[in-house]
Amino acid sequence: MSFLDKARARITEVVDQHGDKIAEGIDKAGAFANERTGGKHADTIEKATGKARDALDSLDGRDDDVPPPPPR
């Protein structure tokens, strides 16, 4: 097993265990960025956080790790 295979396996394990906490951090970072920009880039920030959540959820090939985003 190569280094990258081991790293991917470890990342998958971490996402399985802590995906909800990681997603919460993504949401908090998006809210912070939105607050700091005064809402000027809200659409862009929302797209970016959505893509980050999707990428996080797809790391292990199953879409079950990340809860849906909170309502705005």
CA distances from 58 to 31, 47, 48 (A): 23, 16, 15
What pLDDT band is residue 1 in, cutting at 50, 70 and 90?
A: confident
Mean pLDDT (whole number) for 16-21: 85
pTM: 0.75
For 37-59, write each residue's pLDDT tens digit: 999 999 999 999 999 988 888 87
Mean pLDDT (whole number) for 16-35: 91
Mean pLDDT (whole number) for 28-41: 96
- Is 71 a domain residue? no
- Is 66 a domain residue? no
- Is 72 a domain residue? no
CA angle at residue 47 from 43 to 31, to 5 degrees?
70
Q: Could you tell me the two tokens for 62?
A: 């199953």
- Is 63 a domain residue? no
CA angle at residue 47 from 12 to 57, to 5 degrees?
15
Residue 53 domain boundaries: 3-57
